[in-house]
Structure 1
Amino acid sequence: MKAKPFTATLFAFLLWLPLAAHAALDRPFSFIDEEIARHEGQTGIYVLDTGAEALRTRAWLADHAEQSIEVQYFIWSTDNIGILAAEALMRAAKRGVKVRVIVDDLLIDAEDKTLIALTRHPNIDIRIYNPKNSVGVPLQARLLNVVTDFRGVNQRMHNKTFIVDGKIAITGGRNMAAEYYDYNHKFNFRDRDVLLLGEAVKAMQSSFDEFWKSELSVPVAQRYDGLGLLKKRVQIEENESDYIQQALHDYAKSPANFAPEIRTAINAVGSTAARMTGQVAWSKAEFISDMPGKNDNRIGLGGGGRTTSALAKLVEDAQERIVIQSPYLVLSDAALELFKRARKRGVRVRINTNSMASTDNFPAFSGYRNQRRQLLGLGFEIYEYKPHAATQRQMMQAVSKANGSAPITALHAKTMVVDSNIAYIGTFNFDPRSENLNTEAGVIIHNEELAQLIEAAIETDMHSSNSWNAATDDPDQYAPLSKRSKVRVLQTIPIKPLL
């Protein structure tokens, strides 16, 4: 429990769902069942464009799950959001809900004993994807893995899915950490998720089960049995396990961990639900996901994947325009040829990505900077996100007043709109790592009205109050000298396949 208390206790306390404002309180999911039955073969879609919406929706779903919760994340932090999310899952498990969690090994931020204590509950099962770096891995094992299995160390699970009772789910760019929900005091992400009901959730469930059964997803207990020199040995007494579980509940219940504005939000639940009711769009949608391991390549860093192929086909089929929002923009040779063909067909390509001043990933930006001039020469219209974008400044006014300064904001949404009638929202960055190494997931939405709304949101982020024009504004000048120096050094290192 090392997180600094903050307003993110919203996760544990705020009860809100846009779809079920008038549903019975004892069986709120009955409304969802009725809607799914009325739209057989279709998918209900609601875009979660703000961190507050995304957080409240997850909170409500966790608190009202009846049978199962299945979760996949690339990052799970031990800040307020991560702690409260874990506590919400623990409460669900104590109600009898079966909880299954898969977390990638690379950036998981949890103490060994906390992981073990959580899995001691009979209704909670946690698996670590491809544990070669962190969970149960001593230093000598990490070094050996880098030397003997470089691709394996770099092959990560980037999926983000949250499935409740097998019928309602969330996917998109957000991990489980404060900065993805506008609750970090210093640095936040502009991100996007999508809430799904019905048909596409079936495919998401199948994908989760595929990862769950994979030998790459290892039960937590097996990471601490201490067999040989390549795994840690961590033991925990039963009373210690009970203490850790109770500490989670105590943290979530403590009045010191939430602010007055959270109480105000709770009191406004009724009006919020009334406004949102009926705004779910029902249409055709396809959930796409890579196989565990990404592809069959076990030596090199290439190989592609299911998500790569699906998105490449969207670009190949584009007739008029493509609008992309991606935090990292490093086109592989294959991707570059794909977009060159699109430009030759007369397809307009507009991209919103991070500026050097806003980016959280210097290596990725170095790869983009190496090819930015070439992309602009091909006729790409590129807009680089500002670290203090106007739309985010308005959203973070309360934090700004408390701290005396506004948090930096970076782009993290991974979205593409093709010909203003098909949209993709998911986890795929337009870079070689997403193309060939990391498993990715997302949903392709065949709904013209929704696609145009998403495109309009991206265009707002491209506006001069939120982004610089890469062709005319020289955005690099607004980055600190220290950032510019680091990026220039990284530009000289041949690391493009890893970006």
Structure 2
Amino acid sequence: MLLRPLSTFLFLLLINLPPHAYCSELQQLLTPLLSAYPQQSGAYVLEKGEEALLARAWLADRAEQSIEVQYFIWSNDNIGTLATESLLRAAERGVQVRVLVDDLMIDAPDDFLLALAAHPKIDICIYNPQHKVGTSKPKRVLNIFTNFRGINQRMHDKTFIVDGQVCITGGRNMADEYFDYDQKYNFRDRDILLIGPVAGEIQTSFEKFWQNELAHPVEKLLKDSTQPGPKRIKEIYRELHDYALDKDNFAPEVKQALADLPDKFKYLIDNLVWDQPAFISDVPGKNSGKQGLGGGGRTTGELADALRGAQKRITIQSPYLVLPEGGLELFRELISCGVQVRISTNSLLSTDNLQAFSGYSKQRKDLFEAGIEIFEFKPQPAIQKELIERYAKLEKQAPIFAIHAKTLVIDGKQLYIGTFNLDPRSANLNTEVGVIIDNMQLAGIVEKQIERDIQPENSWHSATETPDRRAPLWKRIKLGFWKLLPLEKLL
């Protein structure tokens, strides 16, 4: 295994240093910055997976008071395990840790969740438990028939908040493939690091979810499960620590990356752009539910309003492209007024979601006729050589890449980075978060990244070529099956 040890070592330097070494380092960095920009927040776009992982690792080991974590997916793979271990270490030095994870994709064993929640400084809640945690198979089936909207209403938020002053939000979940560490399939994703007042706003949003009736403590959900005793709890903690400290996986290039870690984070701090980003988020539950699978939400409304203000061009990157009700009409109106609309999305070859692609496939002709320019990402784009710093070592078995970034740039001066996919599920069912920043520097940086993604060596321009025919036969057959089903409102 090549990728597995690499991600392990990104945490190793932090593990081996004494906790007191970092007792005030974060505040030493933040205090002069927050004093110099009292009414603004600093922002830095995290384009590379390694960079996004390093930022989280650095912050987790320097938190002094609290860490709040909110994710749609938290896997028990290499990255997920190491991230869990870093939170456990933070709790063991006295940091209050709260973790809120959606129920749909969680795969941690019951005793593992209960052992972590048993720590006096760790609290874990599960959002809208309809599928897995504490839910029997008969109950899951019953939920489909008695609460169909409920089982489809998920918390898609992704936030990582440290001491109420620093936050990372964006497209990445907590799993290997979101940080370029999966050997077979990785996502082209994007996060944003935020420092200052906006982090407090994001913490307030987290608190609303945490206090909501849809958030259930794991202890209550698993009260009927076999409870791990003190010996088993200590064993689980020891296994986590031993996993992260395994020195059999050392590699020279990783040692150097770890040695450079403090300087790398200082680079992020030195390159912050200071402005007044606006945090946008949905309420728990998304909407009242009275409109069934529809209903919209706060994020949907604010993004639609932002689009209506476009004068020249709109550049979007979204892994899924299934326009919700009213979306096609909005883009037609904008294009008729002279606004250029470009969308970067996945091709059939790169997509991880055939159901969503089936919805796009049904709409594709209408999108073209409306004048929308669509660029479908290649599974092995030239850009991956730049996204993965260690690409030379992986070239012979380079993984498939797919778009997962959720980004909007308007007129080259307004930027949105968040969790919102351009589909009905994000518009009406899943709760979403993100930030909108009116800043030409940041918007320009991101737009250039998307423009690089849509170059011919990285994407097919769907107006001139239909890349579906390049996909394997089995994938095209599956796509045909999904297109037969009326799934649009759930995509």
TM-score range, shorter chain: over 0.9
Is residue 10–residue 254 contact of structure 2 (8 Å, CA) maintained in 1? no
Structure-2 residue corresponding to 1:435: 427
Structure-2 residue corresponding to 1:315: 307
Structure-1 residue corresponding to 2:293: 301
Is residue 384–residue 467 contact of structure 1 (8 Å, CA) maintained in 2? yes
**SS of equivalent to 2:135:** coil
Q: Which moved more, 1:333-342 or 1:306-315?
A: 333-342
Structure-2 residue corresponding to 1:130: 128
Change (3 A) 1:103 1:36: same
Structure-1 residue corresponding to 2:484: 492
Asked if residue 465 in structure 1 is aligned to residue 463 in structure 2, the reply is no
Structure-2 residue corresponding to 1:202: 200
Is residue 433–residue 498 contact of structure 1 (8 Å, CA) maintained in 2? yes
The separation in 2 between residues aligned to 1:82 and 1:59, in whole angstroms, is 12
The separation in 1 between residues aligned to 2:444 and 2:97, in whole angstroms, is 36
2:60 aligns with one of 59, 62, 66: 62
**SS of equivalent to 1:359:** coil
Change (3 A) 1:24 1:181: closer
**Residue 492 (structure 1) shift:** 1.4
Asked if residue 168 in structure 1 is aligned to residue 160 in structure 2, the reply is no
**SS of equivalent to 1:444:** strand
Structure-2 residue corresponding to 1:113: 111
1:253 aligns with one of 233, 245, 250: 245
Is residue 190–residue 412 contact of structure 1 (8 Å, CA) maintained in 2? yes
The separation in 2 between residues aligned to 1:25 and 1:141, in whole angstroms, is 47
Change (3 A) 1:210 1:409: same
Structure-2 residue corresponding to 1:351: 343
Asked if residue 46 in structure 1 is aligned to residue 38 in structure 2, the reply is no
The separation in 2 between residues aligned to 1:234 and 1:343, in whole angstroms, is 59
Structure-1 residue corresponding to 2:32: 34
The separation in 1 between residues aligned to 2:249 and 2:327, in whole angstroms, is 46
The separation in 2 between residues aligned to 1:417 and 1:299, in whole angstroms, is 30
2:274 aligns with one of 276, 279, 282: 282
Is residue 331–residue 370 contact of structure 2 (8 Å, CA) maintained in 1? no
2:210 aligns with one of 209, 212, 217: 212
Change (3 A) 1:140 1:25: closer
**Residue 91 (structure 1) shift:** 0.2
Asked if residue 383 in structure 1 is aligned to residue 381 in structure 2, the reply is no
**Residue 403 (structure 1) shift:** 8.0
The separation in 1 between residues aligned to 2:264 and 2:107, in whole angstroms, is 33
Instruction: Give 2:362's aligned amino acid.
Output: N
**SS of equivalent to 1:44:** strand
The separation in 1 between residues aligned to 2:250 and 2:313, in whole angstroms, is 45
C-alpha distance after superposition, 1:462-498 (max 9, x if no partner) = 1111111011122112211111111111111100000
Is residue 376–residue 471 contact of structure 1 (8 Å, CA) maintained in 2? yes
Structure-1 residue corresponding to 2:261: 269
The separation in 1 between residues aligned to 2:127 and 2:204, in whole angstroms, is 17
The separation in 1 between residues aligned to 2:198 and 2:263, in whole angstroms, is 29
**Residue 11 (structure 1) shift:** 4.3
C-alpha distance after superposition, 1:154-177 (max 9, x if no partner) = 000000000000000000000000
**What is the aligned length?**
485
**SS of equivalent to 1:324:** strand
The separation in 2 between residues aligned to 1:402 and 1:487, in whole angstroms, is 30
Structure-1 residue corresponding to 2:473: 481
The separation in 2 between residues aligned to 1:14 and 1:348, in whole angstroms, is 48
Instruction: Give 2:70's aligned amino acid.
Output: Q
Change (3 A) 1:465 1:55: same
Instruction: Give 2:116's aligned amino acid.
Output: L
**SS of equivalent to 1:28:** helix
TM-score (norm 2): 0.95
Structure 2 residues without counterparts, runs of 5 or longer: 16-20
Change (3 A) 1:319 1:9: same
Change (3 A) 1:275 1:86: closer
Change (3 A) 1:482 1:61: same
Instruction: Give 2:368's aligned amino acid.
Output: L
Instruction: Give 2:351's aligned amino acid.
Output: T
Q: Which moved more, 1:412-421 or 1:235-244?
A: 235-244
Asked if residue 8 in structure 1 is aligned to residue 7 in structure 2, the reply is yes
Q: Which moved more, 1:356-365 or 1:135-144?
A: 135-144
Instruction: Give 2:280's aligned amino acid.
Output: I
Structure-2 residue corresponding to 1:73: 71
Is residue 72–residue 157 contact of structure 2 (8 Å, CA) maintained in 1? yes
The separation in 2 between residues aligned to 1:40 and 1:82, in whole angstroms, is 35
**Residue 6 (structure 1) shift:** 2.9
Q: Which moved more, 1:28-37 or 1:125-134?
A: 28-37
2:362 aligns with one of 345, 359, 370: 370
C-alpha distance after superposition, 1:440-477 (max 9, x if no partner) = 00000111111111111100001111111011122112
Is residue 14–residue 56 contact of structure 1 (8 Å, CA) maintained in 2? no
Change (3 A) 1:277 1:295: closer
Is residue 48–residue 387 contact of structure 2 (8 Å, CA) maintained in 1? no
Instruction: Give 1:349's aligned amino acid.
Output: V
The separation in 1 between residues aligned to 2:247 and 2:290, in whole angstroms, is 51
**SS of equivalent to 1:294:** coil
Q: Which moved more, 1:250-259 or 1:382-391?
A: 250-259
Is residue 400–residue 406 contact of structure 1 (8 Å, CA) maintained in 2? no
The separation in 2 between residues aligned to 1:346 and 1:241, in whole angstroms, is 62
Structure-2 residue corresponding to 1:456: 448
Instruction: Give 1:252's aligned amino acid.
Output: A
**SS of equivalent to 1:313:** helix
The separation in 1 between residues aligned to 2:439 and 2:82, in whole angstroms, is 35
**Residue 10 (structure 1) shift:** 3.6
**SS of equivalent to 1:390:** coil
**Residue 327 (structure 1) shift:** 0.3
C-alpha RMSD over aligned residues = 2.0
Structure 1 residues without counterparts, runs of 5 or longer: 17-22, 227-232
**Residue 90 (structure 1) shift:** 0.3
The separation in 2 between residues aligned to 1:160 and 1:377, in whole angstroms, is 35
**Residue 275 (structure 1) shift:** 4.7
Structure-2 residue corresponding to 1:444: 436
* Percent identity (aligned): 52
Instruction: Give 2:218's aligned amino acid.
Output: V
Is residue 182–residue 188 contact of structure 1 (8 Å, CA) maintained in 2? yes
**Residue 147 (structure 1) shift:** 1.0
Structure-1 residue corresponding to 2:18: none
1:187 aligns with one of 185, 191, 209: 185
Change (3 A) 1:279 1:70: same
Structure-2 residue corresponding to 1:229: none
